[in-house]
Amino acid sequence: MTGLDGSLPSPTPPHADATGRTPIVRMQVETDRGVFMISVAAELAQMHPQTLRMYEARGLIEPKRSPKGTRLYSQEDVEKLRRIQEMTADLGLNLAGVERVLRLEQEIDSMQQRIEAIELEALQAQVRLANELEEVRRSFRAELTVPYRGGLELVRAADARSPFRPNPRRSQK
């Protein structure tokens, strides 16, 4: 079968949809998954692979390993390498200073997580106390009454005086 111009129709790829277009597939890779070999990671971080190996030897970065032992760096690793470069080049820190900064940042993250956990516990305790307070209010509501002769204070029904009964204190005098 030929087209109007006498040409043969182009074959449709097997993965094309009904309109003949190839769908675009987008994949998202976890940022902590090791996917870059050392040369690619070094290029992305704009450093020499030997510098990257030195950072690894100092314990500043720890790549994942493939089953065959090849170093695999994640996107997070590349971003950390860029930060290390920034601290050494722009801020003038030596590697000992970089190690200290990274350790302090880990401590801050750990403390922040602990603060969030404590805030959640406090919020849950506040909700529990509010519920308990409401239960106490409900239990007293049946016992509380407003006295007949003015006053806005609430008193227990058992302690309220009836205007029709004599005051027991007056009769004792």
CATH number at residue 49: 1.10.1660.10
Q: Say how many domains are in the chain.
A: 2
Pair 165, 148: CB distance under 8 Å: no
Indicate if 62 and 117 belong to the same structural domain: no
Mean pLDDT of the chain: 80
54 found inside a domain: yes
Indicate if 82 and 46 belong to the same structural domain: yes
166 found inside a domain: no
The predicted model gives 56-65 an average pLDDT of: 91
Least trusted range by pLDDT, from 41-45, 64-68, 165-169:
165-169
Residue 153 phi, psi dihedral angles, 5° rounding: -70, 150
The predicted model gives 86-92 an average pLDDT of: 92
CA angle (84 as vertex; 49, 93 as ends), nearest 5: 120
55 pLDDT band (50/70/90 cuts)? very high
Residue 59: give the domain boundaries: 29-92
Check pLDDT > 60 for residue 7. no
132 found inside a domain: yes
Indicate if 130 and 101 belong to the same structural domain: yes
Q: What is the DSSP letter of 155?
A: E
Least trusted range by pLDDT, from 40-49, 65-74, 76-85:
65-74
Residue 110: predicted pLDDT: 96
